[in-house]
Amino acid sequence: MEDKPDEITEDSGMNEETASEVQEAEPELANEPIILATLGDINQCDSSIGIMQNTKVVEDGAMRADLVDVLSSSPTLDELMDYAFQQKECQEFEQALKAFEQAFKLYPDCDGAPFLIIEIGTLQKNAGMFDEAITTFVEGRRIAAKLNNNIFEKEFIDAIAYLRIAKNILLEHKMYHTPYKEIPIPIMDEINKEFLEWRNIS
């Protein structure tokens, strides 16, 4: 059964200035929701919400430390985030995903919960885990609504719609579970075109 993005009718939270910035940075992703095209690629968040990337130079062995070892010391949110971003830097994306998931599991009510959701959903999307990413962003929308953060909620709505469209088109082409960055350009164009049509009528 196909997901139906047109069931979501809220407007996009992307203004013209932000859209222009995305287009200048990544022309081929100009139609992609800002929460996927930009926020999902962040490696650093405002320290006021307690999420900071560890920029120290460390040995590969330390950066590839097992998550079990990290969890055994009852890590703080900052420590889990440091580990997760280190794993991303090493392109150990599976470990990074597990660390972000653990951070959200242990600290679901932290101020940075929407950013944890963005990181989790983006890593899932990049791995071709579209159903999981959709579920993650649905949770993000719930959290944003609870926090009365209308901007985040609208962007999560866009992200959910975009991923549902991507999922359905990939299923049509028998390419489901294709890692996001390996999707052929013609199919990406098809996804972006359909998403733009959805956004124009929503």
Work out the pLDDT band at 139, boundaries 50, 70, 90.
Answer: very high
Same domain, 199 and 121: yes
Contacts of 85 (CB under 8 A, 6+ apart): 43, 44, 53, 54, 96
Structural domain includes residue 170: yes
Per-residue model confidence (pLDDT) at position 13: 39
Structural domain includes residue 81: yes
Same domain, 101 and 116: no
Per-residue model confidence (pLDDT) at position 51: 35
pLDDT, one tens digit per residue, over 17-76 is 433 443 443 444 446 676 666 444 433 333 333 333 333 334 444 445 577 677 777 789
Phi/psi at 76 (nearest 5 deg)? Answer: -80, 170
As a whole-number percent, the residues of the chain with pLDDT over 70 amount to 66
Helices (H), the chain: 16-25, 34-37, 60-63, 67-72, 77-89, 93-106, 113-126, 130-146, 150-172, 185-201
Same domain, 20 and 118: yes
Per-residue model confidence (pLDDT) at position 132: 97
Per-residue model confidence (pLDDT) at position 31: 64
Same domain, 35 and 120: yes
pLDDT, one tens digit per residue, over 171-183 is 999 999 999 999 9
Per-residue model confidence (pLDDT) at position 48: 30
Same domain, 61 and 132: no
Same domain, 80 and 34: no
Q: Which domain holds residue 95?
A: 46-106
Does pLDDT of 193 surpass 70? yes
Mean pLDDT, rounded, for 80-105: 93
Same domain, 18 and 68: no
Q: Which of 23-32, 82-91, 92-101 has the lowest mean pLDDT?
A: 23-32
